[in-house]
Structure 1
Amino acid sequence: MPEHSRPTLGVWGPGPDDKSGVAAYITTSLTHLAHRFRPQRLAGPSAGADRFDQVLYHLGNNELHHGAFRALAERPGPILLHEYNNLNYYYESWGALPAAEQAAVLSTLGTALGTTFSTRGALERYFREHPEVDRFSVDAGIERLAIEAATVVLVHSPHVAAYLGDRYPAADIRHLPFPVSPLIPNGPSVRTRYGIPAGAYLYGTFGFLGAYKRIPTVLAAWQCWADRPADAMLLLAGEARDGLVVPDDPSIVHTGYLPTADFRSLLLAADCGIQLRGPWLGESSGPASALIAHHRPVILSDIPGMHPHPADDGQLLVPTGPDETSALISAMRSQYQRPRTAPHFDPRFSWTSWTEEITAALTARAPQ
């Protein structure tokens, strides 16, 4: 189709310079969308959604997505829920929300928690008085505010699609496989740059290193692994969050925030990924998807939304709860004993497949 005859497409989400996995996702997606549309990337809340033929809103769980949420309120359209439980977005963006939306958030949380909240102050007081309640992972159904404004709802997990389909039977909810670009092996050189011996067996955890990724558990398991092989190393590839302190241990490499090229090279250079979650907020894991797409051994939390799709015997699950540390040690031991294999890419994760499926969603009619 000639470029001038392609429909215009407004794409809302984090900006290109934001430290965000969704920002990188959008950057890559624009090249593929340009084969079918004339896409324009937008981050601000007042960009005029009605001037585009089609729209797409990337919704995530922080204030970087405020423009997308506001544009959705202005014009209904397809949404891609990178997490379905977006409570933290509402907490962070509270002062910029319309009064009616603030009231809807308070009402939704009040119903879920068996009480009522008239103000944000009352909500904060509740959380102070109930420290056992994780304010970020209350499954209150807060996604309803976005889903009711959407024409199509896209999620990256088939389990989340089924769960939300049961919760919102009138909504058009679709599974969109997480897209992954084939990675080019660059193992020896990228390992050298980060002080990792070429022959080491490398376990890697990728992305922002927050408590919700169970990094304290990963470190505890690593240091408690009594028969850990001498050539085993642990890579923490990402920026530390939540006050994380990395032990001074020669078997642990912490890179800090990485350029995209190095991040991708290290993903492929790892012998086994460790991508845990808890609490899980319905989010997609880009690093886990990239590891699975390249048939790399990986250890994941045994949470339905984190279960690999498609699955193979190189993917091990560890339970949440009191046995998590011992189960993780056992899984790391099992992966070490597995013969090393070369990565190869599964085309079901390709951006070509993604483009076909999202084009169908973008041109879908709203449910009648």
Structure 2
Amino acid sequence: MSAQPLVVFSPLPPRRSGIAAYTAELLPALCEGGPVTVVNEEGLTPAVAAELPDCGGALRVLSLAEYQSASETEPALRAQPHIYQIGNNADHVFVYKAFRQRPGLLVQHDFNLHYLIEDVTLVRGDAEGYRAVLQEEYGESGNTLAMLRRAGVFSEAQKLSLPLNRHLLRQAHGVIVHNRWIHDRLPVALRESACVVPHHYSPAVASVAGLSPAQARQRRGLPAEPFLFLSLGFITPPKQIQAALWALGQLRQRGRQFRYVIVGERNAGFDIDAHIRRHGLEDWVTVTGYAPESDFFEYIVAADALINLRHPTVGESSGTLVRALALGLPAVVHNFGPSSEYPDDVVLKVPLELGSPDALAATLDTLLTHAELREALGTRAARHIRAHCSVQHSAQAYRAWLARFPQTVA
């Protein structure tokens, strides 16, 4: 098969975005099938160049402005298959706008894109653009909803019930999603054009090969004892850190000895310290703040168990979870949503308990007190992830789906 050049629209590191990291991890495997042009907002700045993987000369990075200029001088560039990495935040505004002008293969990381549409329209003072999207999605009912919002009649809960994704799906030349949760919620008529490609694990897990938990704890300034629970990523209410703290408060009252390390950037809109104080865990919990990727992996190796919960969910697959599983860290997840799609012998699943999460507390206690269970669970997790979720699997699936849905440019 001849080499097939590709164009990929996506943010790139050092943007603090899981999708930026996802794309960077994928690039070497994608480049094995042909040259790749990545379009981001800032272009190949020194900061971007410093974090790019080695792609053997098959990669170039263009800013959006450079891509637009190159499209005039290189007609073949616009004709190459285009891939758009779409997420539900402001980092993807330029991706969204480019896709609308020249559709291609849509990689939808989140089912719900309402926050993205707000960033494209309302945040920029474009109330008419917001109205137009709602009308395109829902007809006259969408137009009415937009007009009511402009008049001040609106609830934040509407964002969860109005995913605002169909106008993109209808334009797409094929769709890739990371889980069945999203796939099964797509319009029936569009599901045949959608492929489930599980979120891959980062090849950078190899950077901690041979590192012992004791060595990792020493590097991160953590005590050699006791048991260490871990949560990863930007701290938001949907990650249910508050439920984890309630459950761990129960373990403290039972006399269990542990540490809980939350590795992630604080959220000004969510007072995590108040929740820590509420459960008397000031001396038991550490919040590190934002940590670079290399530190992430060392914290995973240092830990005994991962707490990775999500409610409500908009269909996102957790990149931090798949990284931890690839390194054999036992994990506790909710028994619904994308995380529940892992086999039952790969993760421990707990029900959603909006009041007192007693099942979560019991499960964490079981993990803490049963070393054999942790070892067996971690071994199965690493084996499963490495067998099914490599960047090579992702790249092969991308190119196969591109071949199934050829792109034509007017």
Tell me the TM-score normalized by structure 2. Answer: 0.78
Structure 1 segment 246-325 matched on structure 2, within 5 A = 246=273, 247=276, 249-309=282-342, 311-323=343-355, 325=357
2:145 matched residue in structure 1: 116
Contact map agreement 1:205 1:235 (CA 8 A) in 2: yes
Q: How far apart, in 2, do the equivalents of 1:136 and 1:318 lie?
A: 26
Q: How far apart, in 2, do the equivalents of 1:13 and 1:167 lie?
A: 27
2:60 matched residue in structure 1: none
Structure 1 segment 1-368 matched on structure 2, within 5 A = 6-44=3-41, 47-48=67-68, 51=78, 53-95=80-122, 96=124, 101-107=129-135, 108=137, 116-118=145-147, 121-122=150-151, 125-127=152-154, 130=155, 134-138=157-161, 140-164=162-186, 167-169=188-190, 171-181=192-202, 183=205, 184-185=208-209, 186=211, 187-225=213-251, 226-230=253-257, 232-241=258-267, 242-246=269-273, 247=276, 249-309=282-342, 311-323=343-355, 325-338=357-370, 339=372, 340-341=374-375, 343=379, 344-345=382-383, 346-366=386-406
Q: How far apart, in 2, do the equivalents of 1:199 and 1:79 lie?
A: 46
SS at match of 1:209: coil
Q: Residue type of the partner of 1:59?
A: I
Tell me the TM-score normalized by structure 1. Answer: 0.86
Residue identity over aligned pairs, in percent, reads 25
Q: How far apart, in 1, do the equivalents of 2:302 and 2:27 lie?
A: 27
Query: CA 1:19/1:82 → structure 2, altered by over 3 Å: closer, same or farther?
Result: same
Q: How far apart, in 2, do the equivalents of 1:290 and 1:24 lie?
A: 12
Q: How far apart, in 2, do the equivalents of 1:170 and 1:329 lie?
A: 38
Q: How far apart, in 1, do the equivalents of 2:247 and 2:237 lie?
A: 15
Contact map agreement 1:9 1:52 (CA 8 A) in 2: no
Q: Residue type of the partner of 2:317?
A: S
Q: How far apart, in 1, do the equivalents of 2:335 and 2:13 lie?
A: 33
SS at match of 2:173: strand
Mark the runs of 5 or more structure 1 residues left unpaired by the alignment. none
Mark the runs of 5 or more structure 2 residues left unpaired by the alignment. 42-63, 72-76
Query: CA 1:318/1:155 → structure 2, altered by over 3 Å: closer, same or farther?
Result: same
- CA shift, 1:281, in A, is 0.8
SS at match of 1:116: helix
SS at match of 1:204: strand
**Comparing 42-51 and 198-207, the one that deviates more:** 42-51
Query: CA 1:168/1:327 → structure 2, altered by over 3 Å: closer, same or farther?
Result: farther
Q: Residue type of the partner of 2:217?
A: R
- CA shift, 1:295, in A, is 4.1
Query: CA 1:168/1:250 → structure 2, altered by over 3 Å: closer, same or farther?
Result: farther
**Comparing 172-181 and 154-163, the one that deviates more:** 154-163
SS at match of 2:185: helix
Contact map agreement 2:131 2:143 (CA 8 A) in 1: no
Q: How far apart, in 2, do the equivalents of 1:328 and 1:84 lie?
A: 27
Q: Residue type of the partner of 2:322?
A: S
Q: How far apart, in 2, do the equivalents of 1:155 and 1:324 lie?
A: 33
- CA shift, 1:28, in A, is 1.2
Contact map agreement 2:81 2:402 (CA 8 A) in 1: yes
- CA shift, 1:245, in A, is 3.0
- CA shift, 1:120, in A, is 5.0
Q: How far apart, in 2, do the equivalents of 1:145 and 1:210 lie?
A: 28
Contact map agreement 1:147 1:171 (CA 8 A) in 2: no
Structure that is richer in helix per residue:
2
- CA shift, 1:366, in A, is 4.8
Q: How far apart, in 1, do the equivalents of 2:125 and 2:387 lie?
A: 41
